[in-house]
Structure formats: structure tokens, C-alpha cells
Structure 1
Amino acid sequence: MVPSILMSRNDGLGARLIPLLSALRLAQSTGATLRVHWPSQDQRANVSHYHGLFAPEFCARYFITDAEARTRRLRIIPANRFQKLTPQQFIDQADPEADYFIEETTGPATLSGEDPAEVARQYRAAMSMISFTPKIRQMMDQIDAAFAGRQVTAYHIRHGDVTSSYRARGKAWPNKYVPPEIYLEHMRQSGTGPDRPALLISDTPASIDWLAARQPGTLRLPDLIRLEGLDSLQFDFLELYAMSRASLIVAPEMSGFSRVAAAIGAVPIEDVGQSLTDPAMGQAMTALQQRLEQDAGSFLNDGEIAQATVHLRRWLDKQGEAAELSDLLDRQLDQGNTVPLMYRMRAEDAYRAGDIAALAETGRQARDAMIPLPHVLSEIDTMRALLHLGAGQTGPATILLRRALYQWPLHAFSSAAVRNWQLAPPSPEPFYPFEPLVLDLVSLSRGEPQKRVDMRSLIWEIRHFLANTFRGPLTAAGADADLRDRVLAVEAQDDIRGTPAERALKSFRSQIEMEGPDPESALAMSREMADDAPIAENRWAAQRFALNLLQMRKYQRARFWFARLAEAFPDEPVYAGYLAGTIMRDGENEIALEQFQRVNPPGKLRYLVFVPRQIQLLDRLKRDDEADALYDQLLEETGWAETHLTGRVRRALRSGRPFPHMPRLTRLADEAGPHRAAGALVAQLLHRDGHIDEARRRAQAALDGGGVPIGDMQGVQAVLGLTPENKEGPAPE
């Protein structure tokens, strides 16, 4: 039977085309069936409008829906497992029931023994297998004609997404964003001019304008061909195709856009950040530092200032002048730059210096600024936890690490922090309940101190105690199937079979398989493991079964098992929290409140996941002031996380109670832009309080920017007079 290749990628055009061409090449050379999953749920992203790029017959032949892709997820075999096969072995041994998954963006995916030159040729040829719309095909021909006989260097300048995208503003992207000063020095070093033209390709016209004003001999694509009536995706593709016709591409190190252009055109590619001589880089950094200090308004936005600062930071570190950067960071924060990356860099400076007090102050400032990216707050808390662990202070470290993992458990510091916490003396503060044995078995450390904690394995254990279940990163690219196979391999070992370790592994595996196509079978296996021994000796299997029951919404049975766990392990507060939730469903409100207060005593929030349900219970009991105070505590603990802030505003709208944090919410709406929920929330509150014109302005901006959550759509439409106002207010969180 014919094997199946599945290609999927959920980011920009260049990063999608690289694995698409790989998948087309491998399908052609092995006879496999190709299926393409092209995620397009977010209609604001230009890649969702692919029908204007690809011909209908191409889409009909290869593309599958999101629903079909979900059903295939557990059949995925990742590339790193089948690329060890030769092409003939793949044809002979491939499982026709599996999907061989390709998402790699570093270059063509290859099988063992393939000739690199032949792979490159086939990869270029795969471009001819894509059918484009007639309009795009015609413009590709015009580009071919425009470049015929010309030697043009193409510069790819990637500035837009990594400086202005909401989520990108919390991370350093030195291999994606490169300051204009470096591009300018590269052009001067290369002799760019009227006789050696440079084609500037960018997602930010202002960056092209800045360079063109300072360097003769620059061109834009419209200088070569007429581009009219194109949507954003079509224009991006034609820029990519034009780059593939250049004689040289100069680009950031991490640019799928540039790499695919270089591959399909057999064009050499040069890393702009690594191509300068030391004197030229020194000139670029001197000019960049001067602009940051004297002309910060010339940058695109605060996000570009942050990314430019990353480059300057690296340079000053090399020169032994890092103190100058600390002063620059302090000035930027004092001037109101609230890009999360700025706080993260300032925190890392304090962490490197071992300064617990300065790191704590940066964390306080970051929370006060309401920076809307939980992973940055999590990283700062984790750095603080590491310093406390280094000082032997396990109590404060546990509190910080518990809060950090709740918000975002997957980042650069989390694995080391959990490992150090495991090796530290016992903490007086409770952590999240997990079975260390399973982590040891899955990582094959067998009781030895782990050099690196497998954070994904840990998250499978504790995800129901966190801000969300992190299903996306846990299952992306077949990661869940890969982990399940690793667990099965350990289960099958002779020294594991028939021991309590086998029970632990099967119970752990049930949590992974609950996300698969047959959760009932996974639930049955987890029950078998939970019943295998008395609960006092079998805590972890019982815990997993209770959580699996909750995931399947079998609330009565979950209540029974959480009650058993709470009774058997009274020092573990999280069982009381989930027991409270199930009791609350039965209407036994006062009993439920007692259990909630066991997990989060008054004035002490230990497990934030239970707080929203406790607030709902207080509302049900008409204890509004207590609910308000608890919500405000939750906002402070989570750094005004958008999920909880949204719930707090909706509650105020629903109940008619005042919202005392309007200045902070307005500031967040102004900083986050129209793409986030804050603008829609501000609009509804302003409308309720009689500020009609301002409310309508903000509501329209939120609607135009796509930043209106489903639960607020009716309220925003009412502000704009598009529907009759819902007197009951928005739906509860």
C-alpha cells in the first residue's frame, strides 16, 4: 500500500513553502500520497488567503481541512524517525496507516543516502509542481523578464513581525531582526550603487525608506514591474520569487523567506549579521547606539528599539562595556517603554549579577506595567527562584517556581529550575504533585540526578494545575505520539514488566492517550491502574485517573476519587481544590467553599487555577466584596493576565459593579493595540459609564483590528448600535 506524507506548518509564507517543497519532492520520488495542512483559522494572517495564490486544482488535490488534520495527529511519525531510512527502505517499510510528517524549515528534508546535489535539483524542480493562479503565473513571467541579464543583489529586511507582533515583543530575535545600520554598512562594504543595484525586500516600507535615503542604487520591486490589485499574500510571494532571480541574497540568519528563495533559484545566500568586517560592525554599532540615545523616535516603534538593543547588548558584552547597556535599559523603562523584552533583558542582567533584590524589583515593575505576555513574567519568576535555590532558600523558591510554571512552563530557565528544586532540601511550601519516578524512567536516568528535566513529561503530569493544559505545544508535530512511543519502549523492558514501575508508566501514558482518538480506552486503562493497589500505595495512578475523569466530564466519579485522595493525603491541597469544583456542581456551596479555602487560605493564593471557580462560588453566595478582593489578588499574582482581566471586566459589566482599575486597563489597551481584548473591554466599560463617543471609537478600532473575543462581540456591537443591547451582559468567563 502507498505511504502517506503529511506537511503542516503554522507560521509565515516562507516557513510554509520550505516543507511544502520538501513534501512534494519526497512524494514525487517515493510515490507517496501527499496531504497538505495549511492552517488558516486566523483570517487576519495573510497566509489564510491562499486561494489567491494557489490554483484551485492544486488545493483540491493536496489540501486537507483542520478537522481531518486533527484526526491524523496520533498517526504522525516525525521526520527525525523516518529520515534514517533510505528511499528504497522507506518505500518498502513505510506503514500505510501512518502519516510521515514534514515541517522542517532549515532546508530540504532528506532520506538516508540521498545525494545532496540531486536533492537540491529535485527541490528546485518541486516548484514546478505547484500550480499558481493565472494572475500570479503572469507576474512571475514578468519578473523573469525583468531580471534577465541583470546582476542584482537582493536584501531581505525582516522588521515588521518581530517588532510589532504582540507575541514577538517578549523575545529576542537577533537572527531574524537586524538593525538598518548593519544593512547600510553591508551595502557600503559591498559597493552598492547605480552600477551594482540592491533590491530591497521588506515587510516594513519605512525600513526601506530609511535605507534608500542613505544609500544610492537601491530598488524596490515596483521599480522593476507593475504590481496592481494584489493582496498581501500575493505580494509577499512575488517578492520571494523576485529574490530567487537575484544573483545574491543577503538576509538575516533565520529567514525561511530568504532560504526558500535561495533554494528554488539556486542563489547563494549571505548572512548579513555575520558578513561585516569588525571595523564595519563597529561603525554600525556606534551609529546604532547614537540613534538609540539621541533619536529614539526614528525607530518604527518601541518593539524595534528593544530588538535593536539586543544587538547592541551583544556588541557591548564583547567589548566589556555591558554597564552602558544597563543605563540604556533603565532610561528606556523610565521613559515608558513597556515592551516585555526590555524587562526580560533587565531581569537577566540582575540574574547574571546574582542580585536577588534588583531582580525582584524588575519583576515588580514588569507586573505593574501589565506586560501582556505571561512567559516573560514566568521567566523572571524562574530566574528569581534559581537565585533563591542557590542561596538555600527553598520556601521562597517554591512559591516563585509554582507561580512561574502556572503561567508558562516551557522556557529557557524552567528545566534547570525544576532540577535544582528536586535536588534541594524539602520545601515548607507545597509544589505541584507529580511522580518523580516517571520522569526518571522516561528520561532513562533511573534514579540518578537528571542533567535536564524533560519539561514536556512534567507538564503532562501537572498541566491540569496550570493556567491552561498546554495541549498545543504538547501535541505539536506528533510530540505526544513520540512521547507515548518512548513510554511504551520503557514499559517493554524486562526489568520493568510486572513491577510498580510498569503501572506508573501505563498510568502516565493514559494521560497522553486521553488526547488521542480513543479517550475511553485511555480512561479504562487509567482506572485499571488506579484499582491495582490501595490508594495509600497508589497515589499517582489514582490522581491521574481522577484528572482523566474530570477531562471526560464524569464529575460524580471524579468527586468520589478526589474525596478519596483528599482524605488519604490531607497535606496535598490541590485535591481539595478539584473536590471543591465537583461539590460546587452539586450545589453544596458552603461545603465547596470550605474546600476551596483549604487549597487557597484567605490572603494566600497558592494554586491560582482554582481561583476563578472560587470567585464564581462567592458570586453565587452574594459575597461580592470578597469576590472583588479575590479577583484583584488574582490579577496581581498573574501580572494582570489577559484571561483573568477579561473575566474581571465581564463580571463588572454583568453585575453593574464599579471597575476600579480603568486607568490601568486603558493603558493596556493603548499599548497592546487593537488586536488584543483590552480595547473591546475598555469600550464596553466606557459605554456603560456614559462616555459614548470614546466608547464607539475604541469599539470600532477593536472590531477593525480583529481584537474582539467571541464573548464580547455582542457587547461591542451594542456599543456601535449594530444590535440591541444585551441587558444580561456578556457571557461569564
Structure 2
Amino acid sequence: MTPADLQGSIISHRNDRMGGRMIAMLNALRITRDYDLPFFVGWTTGGRTSEEMRDPTAIFDADWVAQHFFDGDVLGEVYDDLIDLSTLTQHTGWTPEKFRAAIAQGSSFLSGAAMGVTVLPWENPQEVPARLPLAVESIRFSAPVRAMIERIDSIFAGTKLTAYHIRRGDIIYDPITSNKLWPNKFIPREFYEQHLGRTLADPDARVLIFSDTPVEVERLRKVDPRVQGFDDLLGDTDLTPGARDFLELFAMSRCKHIYGPPSSAFSQTAMTIGGCSLQAVEDALSPEDRAAAMDRMTDRLEARSTLFINMGDVGQCLHFLIERQKELGDPARARRIIRAYMDDGLDKSFAYQLLCELSVATGDLAACEDIRDLAYARPSYSDDSMATVNTYSALHHLAQGNTDTALDRLHASFWFRPLENVVHGAVNLGLTADIVTPDNFYPFDPAMTRQKGNVFPQGRRALAELNTIAPKGYDPEDRSDFHMWDIVVRDWRLTCGKKLNRAFTNKSKITKSLDMLERAFSKLEGSPALTSARGVLLFAAGDADEALECQRRAIAAAPDTPLYRKRISDVLFSQGADKTALFQLRKASNLMGWHPTYQAELGWRLWRMKERDESWEIYNRLAVADHRFIEVHLMTSDMIRRDPDRLEESLAVLERGLKPAHGAQRLLAAKARLLMMLERVEEGRAVYEQLVDCGLGTEHTHVEIYRQFSALGREDIARELTARSIYDFDMVKEMAGG
């Protein structure tokens, strides 16, 4: 299947587990049935895809898969041009006529909502949900799944089962997934225990437990013989993981009532297919029962109960612990419990966030510095923890007036999570206090700064509380400076360096951002600042010609603004006008004066244009320069290691970046590679082990590991390291050309 085959279609895609993939498919199928359109599925199977999702033919008919499914490579070619159905609103002028015209012109639309029913802006939201279950009829299932569907329908006929859906699985076990809080998917067992007791008070009640963690099913089965699991009804079944996962979803859809998490695609998709009732188990409890469940959970946490499966299980309960203790006016108890677990080895990245939030709630912002020290003393499992501790540390130092340290922390947090709202809020406070400037941060346009009442999100209490913090000498009641930092990320993608999610490059979402920009800065209409900023988003949306015109107009109005010339160089390089682009980039760099980001970008462009001597001059100066830009340190180290006589110097430059970027995957991988090149094999191996054991190793990391150790005749070490990961050694070996 090629990108041309997908034109003028509805494409379903979620890089997700069963529930999310199925609801995206059903919404896509519903639309294609209603509008007589082609239907395709972008089904990713590589990387960290869960085992049950790797083979779609275990669930669907092989011929149907061949007709409608395509892989991640094709998806990568078309994704940025897909129009996300979620961006279709009346505000943006979408009508049935515009929709059909776009289809006729070859545009394709993405169905990617993880939950719920996708309703187009001109459709009746009362009527569409009833048509979604009918879309299942369009799916051709594999023979084993088809046979089990018939069996389930037969067994469930005439029953009135109550289903409980307990989501655990990767949320508590996977080294990456378990490092994020999932309070809308993970619900403490105490809520289920409390509600089950009420359900079983009805002598006619029959209960079916669904969970991706068998121990949770077994625990509740012991409560009463009327409580059963999937296997109790269907017996031993010889099913693949993917087929079983779908069939559990289908069986759940045949229950009369479902109680589960408030935001699980699995149980919500089951409800959509079966038309049964679904209620969040927490919402189904009375206030008294909810309080009893929370207090039992708190007591168990404090007593280190063996009911908790692992630290992932403990970690996911901490959100609820904090919620309850704040209700009781005792957040200090939650803080004590969490800190005790962390001192005892709890290593989940969100624990740092929770502890920082509790420090703010208990009036002890200074404690955030100790929490940062704790994070930096341990291996890091995700960028989130590093972004969090640096952000809260920055807030502490801003409040104390420690400008240099505050700026260090803001640089680190922005590099780790350049699109995070809480990071942007902290940077905005730095901007307000004149600590963040275009000279010492990623260069930005001061003319695009406006005043805002609250720079931290109001929707979550713990983040809203940050609006009470102000830089030293400023009043929290005063309005703060605000800048759209996502545009800065687009300007400096090379030197920001972080891999961002696909939504950042999806053109329909960028168009939505453009609309927000124009509304937020309407007072600047016609100014070079807004014109140039519009050009950045137009370029990102794929309209290079209009973007070029915007930058030309901005330069004509403000010829000495370096950022506008840098932006026009980006567009010109993309069009192959390299000489003109290089002229503009040189001009921008000269206007700016010596700045690490401009220099690194210029050096990188010069190297690609074979202007090697000048490029070396720039990187030699960067190698000894004192600056805060983590990505520039990495770029400089990568350049210097091209000279085999400068490997130690390359490592020293890299270490300057690793000091603030503690635990960063790309920098650690570069360090391991340099150590191997320096024949410090045991040190290199130790770094690779850290990457693997912290779940930071990608497929490419393992390819590098294979090549390094097989070259030494130690393929056994590569095999052993890959065996400790989620990756298959034979696949890695093949990718490495071994």
C-alpha cells in the first residue's frame, strides 16, 4: 500500500492498546459507512507496541487486513498531511460540502480519538451514537475470534451480569508507562472492594471481573462464588494475546452494567459496542463509601501492606492519597508517606512531582531543592521527573531572587519538556522578572510578549496553586508576562533537540494553533512581529511560499531583527536555496552577536554545505564556551568526536551537558559510544546497562550495543543486555546487519 492509495479516505490510527485502537476504527468505519468513503487503518507494530497489538491478523481476517491496513512506514509519510477529525468545528467553517470537496481533492482525515463518539460539526449528536455499534458489522474477524464471538453471544444470552474493569498491566509494570500517573485509568482496589460489597448485597447478583493483571481477578473471586473471571465462563481457550484481549472487550460489552475507571478506552469501547451502562466505580460510591475506601487505602499504604503488587502499584495510589489528605486538611501526612517510600526506593518519576506539589501545598517551597537533589542522586527513568524538579527548583530560586540558579533550572526544564504548560509558566515568571531574555535563553521575539493574569493552568488545583508564587520583588496579584513558547520550539528545533509527539507536526493542529495565535495577538495585526510569527506556523503547516512572503514582509519592516532573518533562512533551506539561506543565517548571526544557538545552527548548516573549515572554527569556540544550552553541548561533542585525537575533549564537553541533563537517553547513549571508542569498555557497558535497566534503550540503542560488542567478539554481552529489554535479539541483530 502506498500513500497515493490512501487519498480521499478516512484513516483510523492510534498507537495505543486495544480499546483506543478499536474505538478509533469504529468511528472511522461509521463515517465511511455514512458517507460512502474508503476506509484504512494505520496499525503500528514496532517499537514499544504491546505484544497483543503486534499481529492484527490474530484478531482480524488476513485478507481484510491486507485490504485496509498499512504500517508505520507509510503512516510516517502521510501523517503530517492528515486532517484530524477533532479539528473539524463550525468555528473553522467545516460543512458537509467542504468535507466532501476536501475528500474529492484527495485530502484524508484522521480518526484518532481515544474514547467516545466522533460527531462531525453538522451531524446530530443525539443520533450518531446509535450508529456506531452497527459499524462492527463491517469488521471481518479471524476465524478463531469469529467462533468465540458466537460462543460468547450464546453464553451471555439472557444474563444480567455486572462487570468490573480493573486496569493495571503496563501502568504498574512497564518501566516507561509506570513512570506516569494514570488517575483516570488506575483506580485503587479499595474502591472496587467497597462497591462489590454493595453489589453482592443483592442475592441475584452475578459479577464478572476483567483485568489485565490476573492477581486482581483472583483476589475478588475469593470474596464470593458469584464473582467470576473470563476463564470461569469460557474455560481454557487457546487464544493469542491479541485475540484474547479483543474477546474480553467483547464479553464485557455483553454485560448489563460496567463499573471501571472514568477514562478507559477499553471499557468505554465495550459500552459503545454493547449499548450497556458504564459508570466510574468511584462515582458510583456514596460519599461515605468513598471516604471509607480512601481511608482503608491510606492505612494500607502507611502500613506497607503486602496487597500492593509492586512499587508501580503503590505509586499509582499516591494521587488518591494526596486527594484524600487534602480533603482532611492533612497534606503533611501524604507528604510523610510518599517521602518514606522514596527514601525506601520508590523510583517513579511522578513521585518527584507529587512531592514538589505537596511542598507547595504545605508552604515549604524550599524543600523542592532537596527533592531535586534526590532525583539527581538516582538513575532517571523519564524526562518528566527531571523537568518537574528543575521547574519547581526554578520557582524556589525565582522567589529567593537567585537569578543565575533560576536560569540554570529553567534551561534544564525547557530542554527536558519544551512543550509542558508548567514549564512554560515558570519560564514566563522568569520573563516577567527579566531573568529570561533573548540573549541568555532560546532567542525569541520580545514584541510577541503580552500580559496575562495566570501563567499556570487553572484546571488542576496543584498547578493553580503555583499562581501564588512570584519572583522576588513582584506581587503574585500582578499580571505576568506571557510568551507563546511553542513558537520558540519551532524556531529552534535543532538546538532544542527533543523528539516531540506527532501532534506537533500535524498540519491540521498547526492550523488550529495559527487561529489561536491570531486571536491572542489581534492587537498586533499588521506588525512585523505577528507577521513573522504567522510565517513560522504557516511554514510548519506546509505553506512554504506564504511563510516566505510573511518573513520578507517582516524583514522589510524590521530589517535589523535577527530572528526574522533566521526564520527566512529556515524556509529557504527547505526550498533548496542554500546560498541565499546561508546569507540570511549569517546576517542573523551577525545581528544577534555571538549566541550559542545561532552559532550551533550556523556551524551545522556550514558542515552540510561542505564549508568544513568555518564550521570547525565555530564548534571549536563552542567547545570552550561557557553556556547553558544542553543540546549545543551534545552537538559540539558529536562534532569533536569526528577527530580521533579529541575523544577525551568530546567526552568532557558531553559531560557538561549531562550535568543538568541527568539521565537523558541521547546523552547517555553518546557517552557510552565515546567510552567504547576510548576503549573504556567496562565503563561503556555500565552506561549501556543503565539505559537498558531504566527502560531508556530504544531499538537503535540495542543496534548500537550489538555493533559495539560484536566488534569485540562479545556478542554474548549484547544478547544478555537485549534480553533485559522488550526487544528481540534476532531482530536487533538483523537491523544491525549481523
What is the TM-score when the length of structure 1 is the normalising length? 0.84
Three-state SS of the structure 2 residue aligned to 1:672 is coil
The answer on whether the counterparts of 2:668 and 2:687 sit within 8 Å (CA) in structure 1 is: no
Could you tell me how far 1:162 is from its partner in structure 2?
1.6
Q: Distance in 1 between matches of 2:332 and 2:203?
A: 42
1:616 matched to 2:644? The reply is: no
Q: Distance in 2 between matches of 1:146 and 1:546?
A: 67
Residue in structure 2 matched with residue 81 of structure 1 by the alignment: 88
- Counterparts of residues 120-159 of structure 1 (less than 5 Å): 120-159=129-168
Residue in structure 1 matched with residue 444 of structure 2 by the alignment: 434
Q: Distance in 2 between matches of 1:115 and 1:526?
A: 40
The answer on whether the counterparts of 2:83 and 2:508 sit within 8 Å (CA) in structure 1 is: yes
Shift of the 704–264 alpha-carbon distance from structure 1 to 2, 3 Å rule, reads: closer
- Counterparts of residues 402-417 of structure 1 (less than 5 Å): 402-417=411-426
Query: Match for 1:698: what amino acid?
Result: E
Shift of the 282–373 alpha-carbon distance from structure 1 to 2, 3 Å rule, reads: same
Residue in structure 1 matched with residue 227 of structure 2 by the alignment: 218
| Correspondence for 1:230 among 230, 234, 239 | 239
Could you tell me how far 1:149 is from its partner in structure 2?
1.9
Query: Match for 1:424: what amino acid?
Result: A
1:5 matched to 2:14? The reply is: no
The answer on whether the counterparts of 2:693 and 2:724 sit within 8 Å (CA) in structure 1 is: no
1:265 matched to 2:295? The reply is: no
Residue in structure 2 matched with residue 701 of structure 1 by the alignment: 723
Shift of the 417–195 alpha-carbon distance from structure 1 to 2, 3 Å rule, reads: same
**Structure 1 unmatched ranges of 5 or more:** 718-722, 724-733
Residue-by-residue CA offset, 1:168-215 (whole Å, 9 max, x unaligned): 233221111012222111101222688422111111112222333345
- Counterparts of residues 563-582 of structure 1 (less than 5 Å): 563-582=586-605
Query: Match for 2:536: what amino acid?
Result: F
Residue in structure 2 matched with residue 49 of structure 1 by the alignment: 55
Q: Distance in 2 between matches of 1:81 and 1:509?
A: 19
Shift of the 362–123 alpha-carbon distance from structure 1 to 2, 3 Å rule, reads: same
| Correspondence for 2:43 among 34, 38, 44 | 38
Residue in structure 2 matched with residue 470 of structure 1 by the alignment: 500
The answer on whether the counterparts of 1:8 and 1:16 sit within 8 Å (CA) in structure 2 is: yes
Q: Distance in 1 between matches of 2:611 and 2:121?
A: 63
Shift of the 696–66 alpha-carbon distance from structure 1 to 2, 3 Å rule, reads: closer
Residue in structure 2 matched with residue 328 of structure 1 by the alignment: 337
Residue-by-residue CA offset, 1:373-422 (whole Å, 9 max, x unaligned): 11221122122223333444444333221221112122240232233233
Residue in structure 1 matched with residue 513 of structure 2 by the alignment: 483
| Correspondence for 2:673 among 626, 647, 650 | 650
Shift of the 123–44 alpha-carbon distance from structure 1 to 2, 3 Å rule, reads: closer
1:504 matched to 2:504? The reply is: no
The percentage of counterpart residues that share the same residue type is 23
Could you tell me how far 1:256 is from its partner in structure 2?
0.9
- Counterparts of residues 708-727 of structure 1 (less than 5 Å): 714=736, 723=738
Residue in structure 1 matched with residue 4 of structure 2 by the alignment: none
Shift of the 216–599 alpha-carbon distance from structure 1 to 2, 3 Å rule, reads: farther
Could you tell me how far 1:597 is from its partner in structure 2?
6.2
Deviates further, 467-476 or 546-555:
546-555
Alpha-carbon RMSD: 4.0
Q: Distance in 1 between matches of 2:703 and 2:73?
A: 30
Shift of the 508–680 alpha-carbon distance from structure 1 to 2, 3 Å rule, reads: closer
**Structure 2 unmatched ranges of 5 or more:** 1-6, 456-477
Shift of the 194–53 alpha-carbon distance from structure 1 to 2, 3 Å rule, reads: farther
Deviates further, 611-620 or 542-551:
542-551
Residue in structure 1 matched with residue 104 of structure 2 by the alignment: 96
| Correspondence for 1:632 among 643, 648, 655 | 655
Three-state SS of the structure 1 residue aligned to 2:205 is coil
Deviates further, 559-568 or 86-95:
86-95
- Counterparts of residues 380-459 of structure 1 (less than 5 Å): 380-427=389-436, 430-438=440-448, 453-459=483-489
Q: Distance in 1 between matches of 2:114 and 2:644?
A: 54
Could you tell me how far 1:453 is from its partner in structure 2?
4.8
Q: Distance in 1 between matches of 2:115 and 2:648?
A: 55
Three-state SS of the structure 1 residue aligned to 2:410 is helix
Shift of the 486–322 alpha-carbon distance from structure 1 to 2, 3 Å rule, reads: closer
Residue-by-residue CA offset, 1:681-716 (whole Å, 9 max, x unaligned): 8898899999997x36623514763489969964xx
Q: Distance in 2 between matches of 1:633 and 1:453?
A: 29
Deviates further, 112-121 or 196-205:
112-121
Residue in structure 1 matched with residue 78 of structure 2 by the alignment: 71
Query: Match for 2:53: what amino acid?
Result: V
Query: Match for 2:349: what amino acid?
Result: P
Query: Match for 1:312: what amino acid?
Result: L
Q: Distance in 2 between matches of 1:546 and 1:709?
A: 41
Residue in structure 1 matched with residue 24 of structure 2 by the alignment: 19
Residue in structure 2 matched with residue 284 of structure 1 by the alignment: 293
Residue-by-residue CA offset, 1:288-321 (whole Å, 9 max, x unaligned): 2333333455433211110012212211111122
Could you tell me how far 1:143 is from its partner in structure 2?
0.4
Could you tell me how far 1:101 is from its partner in structure 2?
3.5
Could you tell me how far 1:540 is from its partner in structure 2?
1.8
Residue in structure 2 matched with residue 720 of structure 1 by the alignment: none
Q: Distance in 2 between matches of 1:494 and 1:388?
A: 34
Deviates further, 313-322 or 585-594:
585-594
Q: Distance in 2 between matches of 1:416 and 1:494?
A: 23
Shift of the 552–206 alpha-carbon distance from structure 1 to 2, 3 Å rule, reads: farther
Could you tell me how far 1:583 is from its partner in structure 2?
5.1
The answer on whether the counterparts of 1:394 and 1:426 sit within 8 Å (CA) in structure 2 is: yes
Query: Match for 2:495: what amino acid?
Result: F
Q: Distance in 2 between matches of 1:214 and 1:673?
A: 40
Query: Match for 1:96: what amino acid?
Result: A
Residue in structure 1 matched with residue 65 of structure 2 by the alignment: 59
Residue in structure 2 matched with residue 460 of structure 1 by the alignment: 490
Residue in structure 1 matched with residue 213 of structure 2 by the alignment: 204
Three-state SS of the structure 2 residue aligned to 1:622 is helix
